[in-house]
């Protein structure tokens, strides 16, 4: 039995002292090793707690954006023009989407090829479900990929609930496709026949944030997120910081295999954007929009078949608050909202009418006779004329300064010596030719006083209106002419680039190289009405927070630009001239305004714009103002190629005046918070 | 006899081992709540069997073990050899054999058996063989099974055996110059394995092993997809714990599968994350207590055999604890050495508890003048 005790053996017991020392040494080694571990743990967990784990823990949590509701845009009466509605957005998670997918050149019918490319197959299925052309879905994804690689890419399509349910039930056939509750712009006023003419250029539109947006100084200081949407034009762009609100954020934890664990939690609440209150009167806007169309119909009836576009600006001449600013042709702002119906027509670069170019502030035209009061101001302020001054109104005029002896004809046969107001009343060209010729004398004496006064009245520079896209037009002078490329590069640069008597003479009646926008006209006529104050035209009067109270800094109505302190005698003379133009027997728009109440002061313009197709074409203008019960209104109407201003433009202005002063839509001037 | 046994058990050691084991089970239960399978249930069974076995072994006089050391040595060589031939492979290493429906890891048991064997060898040769030859003999005695284990490949256990050998020779009183030679030989071997032989085209270790073993030396080059991932995840978990720990619910590294092998090799990182520095230091303190009790047994035993067995067990535990914890906090190579009484696994749990049982046995029987007399006393009972 081997479990029996072994035979006793003479074994000396271990030497107790060395053994104790050796055991102690083992203990010291053990203690030293454990202390090293403790020090390392101290460093990891106490001194640098979280250093190693920060990235690791972060990678477990994926955040997603909760879009904020964008603020509304309302008109001066509080009628909602632009609002937001919820929609379901489609996103492609580019982190999990098959990398290197390229579906260029594939279309809906290339099934055999699509099936070979997993990424294309996903998008192809998506396109089929949401009823969009497959190439468009691919283009939408690929064009957004470069800016947002690694982020979920929001496609510019919205989907319906049944479509979402269909895809979620088959989510293994739609990998990387995810959905997000989002907001899209809504235009409730469009359905209202009294208000339904939203100028899409003014309100602008919202679109996905682009790489250009991130560099755009217009968004500076806004801290644009990398994904999401931003205003891309108009009010939406210039007031984007107010409207956007701030997106919220949810977070959800995912385990190592990528499956979500626990339910998502809200990290940050989304904050609804502020409400922007426009100076616009939606009803007046609708009237103005329709009036342009009728003005064009009148022009067509007057055999001006080239009349194809036009603009109206209606503005408070004391404050610069724009009540209506319409442009034709126009389009519905819904072209910018999924499913983007009709957008192709609007953005088509071959469309000759460029509906995206707003004729009221982004289009410039020669002002024709509507410029004569401006010439009068410049002449009066330069000392060329004064109270009681007269000039001969003849059938034609030849300038003694002009060595080519060009004959400048009046528009009609007259022969009289008249004062300024009569010259405005009958729109005598030769009266103003003589002033232009005198300005040429001043030019020869080294003074650009004509151009200086034109510029003081707001021409030749971009009006400081609170939307992007306004342009400056042209106030020509010798410097401009010397550098104008067609002249510099033309056949006779040495002659063509010289400033000549004809240039001043033509500019005196709003022709020649002078180009102005209807908005600039409205600002200048406001100065004639208000005594010389150059107002700041603006579209937004105030901004309120989501609770309806004025937002901090939300009183945005601007101060006027400057005051020219025009003498009363000059203004009276012009006013009586414009009164004559609308009331006297030989006035140019008496037929329209002769019996209009309240009294309208205004000037027609018929600016020659000959082209090869239409050598006889003229832009029809009307500019002027009226006032009733302390409610002044300046209106500028322009029909491009509309022929005589008194025929096609004056009735447009008359409709705006009629609506403003007579409409059942009562105007609340008390709401006008601007000075 | 029972009364004698009950009277002479080292209760502080027993309490420490039971505390660590219970702590280990608690950590296991929390850490594996999202894992498939019932690791906790299995570990509970292993620990229960192990504790019973430990108490039984504590009653066996050391002399019996001493007498059996040659059969046990052959048993070790046989089982480790069988593993090499028909072993069951996990993660590229063939360390397991299946017997009677259970999977065993013979290399784990071999550690304890070789401690007993080497102690018996050294004790019996004391004063007979010259110190130099005895050291060489020990080296061969341990080296043969170590080489087999190394071929499995189980580099970690081979290292444990080497540490054991050093610890026992140290306590035995081998001359200092022997350690110089041993360390030199070890260094040359490591240099051969890691640098010289691969340079000559001979790959002793698999490439994955070399990468894993050396990963801790250059953490800045860690490839998160590859070998560095374990270490990064472990460091993140430990660091996430901070001072007080995250608790169970917020231990996201552990709970959501970011920390690999959180029930086995990296269980200490779980402690670090869930219980923080406080918990980790507490566990280390428990280990220190246990090692202290083991060292007490070295000095308390009145036989060379007993002291040497205790020295072997202490060396084995110390090395395993140090290397395992060191590996989870980036101080030691990732070798797959489990943390005693904490990591999931039947073989090593059983082995370590049996080792404590052997320590207890020596403690119980240390008070007697010598083992033979004790055996004789026991025989009639």
Helix B267-300 to helix B346-366 angle, to the nearest 10 degrees? 20
Search chain B and give the residue with CA nearest A48.
B239
pLDDT tens per residue across span A290-311: 999 999 999 999 999 999 999 9
Contacts of A85 (CB under 8 A, 6+ apart): A183, A184, A186
Find the mean pLDDT for residues A66-76: 91
Which structure tokens are listed for B214? 């050396």
Q: Residue B227 in 3-state DSSP?
A: coil
Give contacts of B127 with chain A, Cβ < 8 Å: 12
- Flag whether B379 is in a domain: no
* Closest chain B C-alpha to A131 CA, distance in angstroms: 40
Search chain B and give the residue with CA nearest A29.
B318
Note down pLDDT in tens along chain B; length 381 residues: 778 888 889 999 999 999 999 999 999 998 888 777 788 999 999 999 999 999 999 998 888 888 888 898 999 999 888 888 776 666 656 667 776 666 778 888 999 999 999 999 988 887 778 888 899 999 999 999 998 888 877 888 889 999 999 999 999 888 888 899 999 988 998 888 877 777 777 777 777 677 777 767 665 555 554 556 788 888 888 888 889 888 888 888 888 777 888 888 899 999 999 999 999 999 999 999 999 999 999 988 888 899 999 999 999 999 999 999 999 998 888 888 999 999 998 899 999 999 999 999 999 887 654 443 323 333 333
Find the mean pLDDT for residues A644-648: 92
User: What is the Cα–Cα distance from A456 to A563, expressed in whole angstroms?
Assistant: 9
Torsion of CA A564, A567, A568, A571, to 10 degrees: -70
- What CATH number does the domain located at A282-543+568-671 have? 3.40.710.10
End-to-end CA distance of chain A: 119
Dump the DSSP string for A288-327.
Answer: HHHHHHHHHHHHHHTT-TT--EEEEEEE-TTT-BEEEEEE
Are the beta carbons of B376 and A22 separated by less than 8 Å? no
Q: Is the pLDDT of residue A14 over 70?
A: no
Search chain A and give the residue with CA nearest B295.
A23
Are the beta carbons of A45 and B322 separated by less than 8 Å? no
* Closest chain B C-alpha to A465 CA, distance in angstroms: 55
* Closest chain A C-alpha to B89 CA, distance in angstroms: 25
Q: For chain B, what percent of residues have pLDDT higher than 70?
A: 88
User: What is the Cα–Cα distance from A457 to A373, expressed in whole angstroms?
Assistant: 11
pLDDT tens per residue across span A170-218: 888 888 888 888 888 999 988 888 888 899 999 999 987 777 888 888 8
Helix/strand/coil (H/E/C) assignment for every residue in B346-378: HHHHHHHHHHHHHHHHHHHHHCCCCHHHHHHHH
Helix/strand/coil (H/E/C) assignment for every residue in A191-248: HCCCCCCCCHHHHCCEEECCHHHHHCHHHCCCCCCCCCEEECCHHHHHCHHHHCCECE
Phi, psi dihedrals of residue A253, rounded to the nearest 5°: -90, 145
Task: Kindly state the greatest CA–CA separation across chain A.
Answer: 156
Exposed/middle/buried for residue A266 (C-beta within 10 Å: 0-12, 13-18, 19+): exposed
The pLDDT confidence band at residue A670, using thresholds 50, 70 and 90, is: very low
Whether the domain at A63-252+262-278 and the domain at A282-543+568-671 fall into the same CATH topology? no
Find the mean pLDDT for residues A319-347: 89
Specify the pLDDT at position B365: 85
- Write out the CATH class of domain A63-252+262-278: alpha beta
User: What is the Cα–Cα distance from B15 to B62, expressed in whole angstroms?
Assistant: 22
Return the closest-CA partner of residue A453 out of A435, A471, A469.
A435
Exposed/middle/buried for residue A263 (C-beta within 10 Å: 0-12, 13-18, 19+): exposed
CA dist A168 → A90, A129, A261, B277 (Å): 12, 12, 19, 45
- Flag whether B380 is in a domain: no
Closest by Cβ to B276, choosing from A18, A40, A45:
A45
Q: Residue A529 in 3-state DSSP?
A: helix
Q: Could you state, in order of their start, the residue ranges of all structural domains in chain A?
A: 63-252+262-278, 282-543+568-671
Find the mean pLDDT for residues A64-68: 82
Are the beta carbons of A44 and B329 separated by less than 8 Å? yes
The parent domain of residue B186 ranges over 2-85+96-374
pTM of the full structure: 0.69
CB atoms within 10 A of CB A9: 10
Find the mean pLDDT for residues A221-229: 73
> In this structure, are residues B46 and B341 in contact, taking their beta carbons and an 8 Å threshold?
no
Search chain A and give the residue with CA nearest B174.
A22
Q: Is the pLDDT of residue A10 over 70?
A: no
> In this structure, are residues A223 and A455 in contact, taking their beta carbons and an 8 Å threshold?
no
Phi, psi dihedrals of residue A147, rounded to the nearest 5°: -75, -25
Higher pLDDT, A96 or A483: A483
Across all residues in chain A, what is the average pLDDT?
Answer: 87
Closest by Cβ to A23, choosing from B34, B242, B299:
B299
The pLDDT confidence band at residue A2, using thresholds 50, 70 and 90, is: very low
Helix/strand/coil (H/E/C) assignment for every residue in A650-670: HHHHHHHHHHHHHCCCCCCHH
> In this structure, are residues B224 and B232 in contact, taking their beta carbons and an 8 Å threshold?
yes
Specify the pLDDT at position B301: 86
User: What is the Cα–Cα distance from A596 to A657, expressed in whole angstroms?
Assistant: 9
Number of domains chain B is built from: 1
Phi, psi dihedrals of residue A56, rounded to the nearest 5°: -65, -45
Specify the pLDDT at position B279: 94
Q: Residue A640 in 3-state DSSP?
A: strand
Which structure tokens are listed for A49? 């707690």
> In this structure, are residues A266 and A66 in contact, taking their beta carbons and an 8 Å threshold?
yes
Which structure tokens are listed for B190? 């490591």
Say if residue B12 is preceded by a cis peptide, omega within 30 of 0: no
């Amino acid at each position: 039995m081997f479990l029996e005790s072994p035979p006793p053996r003479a074994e000396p017991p271990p030497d107790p002292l060395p053994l104790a020392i050796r055991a102690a040494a083992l203990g010291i080694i053990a203690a030293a090793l454990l202390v090293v571990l403790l020090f390392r743990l101290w460093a990891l967990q106490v001194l640098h707690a979280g250093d190693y784990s920060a990235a690791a823990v972060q990678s477990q949590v994926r955040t997603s954006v909760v879009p904020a509701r964008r603020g509304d845009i309302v008109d001066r009466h509080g009628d909602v023009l632009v609002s937001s509605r919820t929609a379901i957005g489609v996103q492609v998670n580019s982190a999990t989407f098959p990398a290197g997918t390229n579906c260029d050149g594939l279309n809906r019918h290339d099934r055999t090829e699509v099936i070979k490319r997993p990424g294309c197959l996903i998008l192809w299925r998506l396109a089929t479900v949401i009823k969009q052309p497959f190439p468009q879905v691919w283009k939408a994804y690929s064009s957004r990929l470069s800016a947002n690689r690694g982020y979920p890419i929001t496609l510019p399509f919205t989907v319906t609930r049944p479509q979402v349910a269909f895809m979620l039930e088959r989510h293994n056939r739609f990998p990387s496709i995810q959905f997000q509750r989002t907001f899209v712009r809504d235009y409730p006023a469009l359905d209202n026949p009294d208000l339904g003419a939203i100028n899409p250029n003014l309100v602008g539109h919202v679109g996905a944030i682009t790489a250009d947006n991130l560099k755009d100084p217009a968004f500076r200081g806004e801290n644009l997120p990398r994904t999401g949407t931003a205003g891309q034009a108009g009010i939406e762009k210039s007031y984007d910081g107010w409207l956007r609100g701030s997106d919220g954020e949810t977070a959800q934890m995912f385990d190592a295999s990528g499956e979500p664990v626990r339910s998502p939690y809200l990290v940050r609440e989304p904050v609804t954007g502020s409400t922007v209150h426009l100076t616009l009167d939606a009803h007046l806007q609708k009237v103005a929009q329709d009036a342009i169309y009728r003005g064009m119909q009148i022009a067509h009836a007057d055999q001006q078949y080239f009349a194809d576009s036009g603009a109206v600006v209606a503005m408070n001449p004391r404050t610069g608050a724009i009540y209506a600013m319409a442009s034709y042709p126009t389009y519905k702002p819904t072209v910018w909202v999924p499913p983007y119906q009709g957008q192709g027509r609007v953005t088509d670069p071959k469309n000759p009418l460029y509906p995206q170019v707003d004729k009221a502030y982004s289009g410039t035209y020669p002002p024709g006779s509507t410029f004569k009061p401006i010439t009068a101001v410049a002449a009066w302020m330069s000392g060329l004329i004064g109270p009681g001054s007269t000039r001969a109104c003849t059938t034609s005029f030849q300038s003694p300064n002009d060595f080519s002896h060009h004959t400048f004809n009046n528009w009609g046969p007259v022969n009289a010596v008249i004062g300024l107001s009569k010259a405005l009343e009958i729109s005598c060209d030769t009266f103003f030719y003589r002033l232009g010729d005198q300005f040429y004398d001043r030019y020869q004496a080294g003074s650009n006083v004509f151009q200086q006064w034109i510029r003081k009245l707001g021409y030749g520079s971009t009006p400081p209106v609170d939307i992007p896209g306004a342009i400056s037009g042209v106030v020509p002078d010798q410097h401009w002419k010397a550098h104008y490329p067609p002249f510099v590069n033309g056949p006779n640069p040495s002659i063509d680039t010289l400033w000549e008597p004809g240039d001043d003479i033509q500019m005196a009646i709003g022709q020649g190289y002078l180009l102005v926008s209807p908005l600039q006209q409205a600002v200048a006529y406001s100065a004639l009405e208000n005594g010389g104050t150059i107002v700041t035209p603006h579209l937004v009067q105030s901004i309120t927070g989501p609770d309806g109270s004025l937002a901090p800094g939300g009183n945005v109505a601007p101060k006027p630009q400057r005051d020219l302190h025009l003498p009363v005698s000059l203004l009276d003379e012009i006013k009586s001239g414009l009164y004559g133009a609308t009331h006297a027997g030989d006035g140019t728009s008496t037929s329209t305004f002769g019996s209009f109440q309240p009294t309208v002061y205004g000037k027609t313009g018929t600016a020659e714009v000959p082209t090869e197709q239409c050598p006889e074409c003229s832009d029809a203008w009307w500019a002027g103002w009226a006032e009733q019960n302390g409610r002044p209104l300046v209106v500028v109407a322009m029909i491009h190629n509309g022929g005589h201003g008194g025929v096609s433009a004056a009735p447009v202005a008359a409709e705006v005046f009629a609506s403003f002063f007579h409409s059942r839509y009562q105007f609340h001037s008390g709401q006008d918070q601007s000075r | 006899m029972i009364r004698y046994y009950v009277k002479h058990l080292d209760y502080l050691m027993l309490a420490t081992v039971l505390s660590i084991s219970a702590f280990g089970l608690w950590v296991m239960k929390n850490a594996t709540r999202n894992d498939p399978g019932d690791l906790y249930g299995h570990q509970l069974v292993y620990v229960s069997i192990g504790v019973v076995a430990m108490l039984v072994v504590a009653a066996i006089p050391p002399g019996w073990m001493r007498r059996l050391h040659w059969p046990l040595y052959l048993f070790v060589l046989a089982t480790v050899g069988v593993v090499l031939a028909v072993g069951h492979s996990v993660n590229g290493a063939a360390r397991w054999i299946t017997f009677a429906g259970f999977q065993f890891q013979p290399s784990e048991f071999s550690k304890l058996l070789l401690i007993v064997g080497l102690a018996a060898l050294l004790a019996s040769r004391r004063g007979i063989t010259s110190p130099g030859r005895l050291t060489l003999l020990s080296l061969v005695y341990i080296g043969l099974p170590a080489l087999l284990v190394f071929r499995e490949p189980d580099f970690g256990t081979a290292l444990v055996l080497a540490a054991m050998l050093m610890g026992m020779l140290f306590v035995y009183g081998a001359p200092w110059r022997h350690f110089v030679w041993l360390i030199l030989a070890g260094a040359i071997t490591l240099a051969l394995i890691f640098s010289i032989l691969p340079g000559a085209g001979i790959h002793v270790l698999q490439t994955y092993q070399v990468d894993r073993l050396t990963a801790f030396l250059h953490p800045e080059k860690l490839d998160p997809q590859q070998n560095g991932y374990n270490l990064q995840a472990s460091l993140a978990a430990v660091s996430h714990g901070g001072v007080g720990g995250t608790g169970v619910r917020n231990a996201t590294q552990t709970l959501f599968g970011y920390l690999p092998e959180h029930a086995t090799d990296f269980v200490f990182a779980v402690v670090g994350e869930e219980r923080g520095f406080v918990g980790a230091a507490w566990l280390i303190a428990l280990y220190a207590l246990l090692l202290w009790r083991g060292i007490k047994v070295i000095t308390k035993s009145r036989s060379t055999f007993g002291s040497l067995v205790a020295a072997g067990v202490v060396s084995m535990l110390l090395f395993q604890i140090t290397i395992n914890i060191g590996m989870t906090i980036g101080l030691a190579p990732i070798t797959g050495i489990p943390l005693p009484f904490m990591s999931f696994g039947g073989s090593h749990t059983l082995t370590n508890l049996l080792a404590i049982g052997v320590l207890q046995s020596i403690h119980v029987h240390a008070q007697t003048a010598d083992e033979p007399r004790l055996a004789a006393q026991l025989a009639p009972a």
